[in-house]
Structure 1
Amino acid sequence: MTSPSPPAAASALKAVTLTHVRYRRGDSLGHFLAWVSLIPVFISLGGFVTHFLFRRELQGLCFSLGLLVSQVLNELIKTSVQQSRPDTCAALEMCDSHGWPSSHSQYMFFFAAYFTLLCYKGVVGVASPCSRLFLAFLPWPAAVLTLYSRVYLGYHTVAQVFAGATLGLVLGVGWFWIVNSMLAEYFPAIEESAVGRFLYVKDTSHIPNVLKFEYDNARAARKKLAQD
């Protein structure tokens, strides 16, 4: 366990209040990267929780389950390897935990890999190849910035973030294959089950353009309601 930092070093640090990710006072880049470091939190709470509440998509549920499994594996590996965080972490909070592999990097590269493959498969609600290509590229800058932020802010070494990124990439691709080659065939049965109908879960991955499909059906329902 690292020794407590001296008061002078601690006073030179400032926290992003939401989760106390620390950066040096007056460091604009550090402030920006501290918020970048919180992207996994925003994805989990703002993305997947909202997605389940309003969409109830089985593909999204499998996606979030994969991320959860990935993070559990990360903790198991950290506990087994027990590699310390870098010395630069001594003045930061929460640095009595292990550092290899980086969970932030693993999370973001899992997310980027799985999301890109969803775009390639066409399960993103748009049919245009250009739109799918744009969406497929979208998570990668955030993933790379998150990786960089963990080193810049002093929470991890370069080796630790690259280990997390590699593991996340492999797990993301592997989980996508498991879901879409093995589990997807059970989606119809889950939809028709008592629990599935109670929770209104559904699978729209077989629909080429979900946005247009829902738009057309919403308009048709409104017209029918007006006629009645």
Structure 2
Amino acid sequence: MPPVKSRREQYSQATKAALLEAATRRFAEHGFAGTALEDVAADIQASRGAVYHHFASKTALFEAVVEALETEMIREVVEAVATTPDTWQAAMTAMEMFLDHCCDPDYGRVVWQEAPIALGWKRWKECEEKFAYGLIEQLIKALVDSGEVPPLPLEPMARITFHILGSAGMALAEAPRTGQAQGQGRVLRGDQAPAERSAQAGGQPFLTRCAGGAAPCGGGVGRHPRMS
């Protein structure tokens, strides 16, 4: 049985959770540069000192927000995949959920638009690999084992697919919020009816069968447009 937390520990955890929630709203609406720690603290009626008690800097708070958003996205994807027995459908479900998250205003702006600037390109890429790459590698291994994709070397297939999905995620996050982003997601996924998927079992769905053909968005993650 886990030890019972003191009232002070419970209050501290509640304050940290409230700060993360308020910071998520602020970063999504105003961006990293337009968000002040005083405003985040004021949103939950706390002091700036309360922010620094939990986070060493605005960058540390922002990175915690990114990690929270990524953790929730991965959790939802893993839960959905776990209940999908068909390996191909599991991969399609995972990809669809990821792209749908990229259309979310909070996740899309914070993770894909603000994070490369706030954290720097190298650190942002490390975060993306920490959360997404391992899951992609597992899904592709399952597809190879089931015969859905050719038995090519796993690491290059996972790496290329990771970069293609990164390009798709960035494109969706930067698309207008008028319904076009969802439509673009369907194009990037190469959606097909079940009969079409069956007819093309040896063809090129699912990001051209795990990067066997041309990649969307120019293929691979390049420099962030605001960093070039």
TM surpasses 0.5: no
TM range (shorter): under 0.3
Does 1 or 2 have the higher relative contact order (CA < 8 Å, sep 6+)?
1
* TM-score normalised over the length of structure 2: 0.27
**Bigger radius of gyration, 1 or 2?**
1
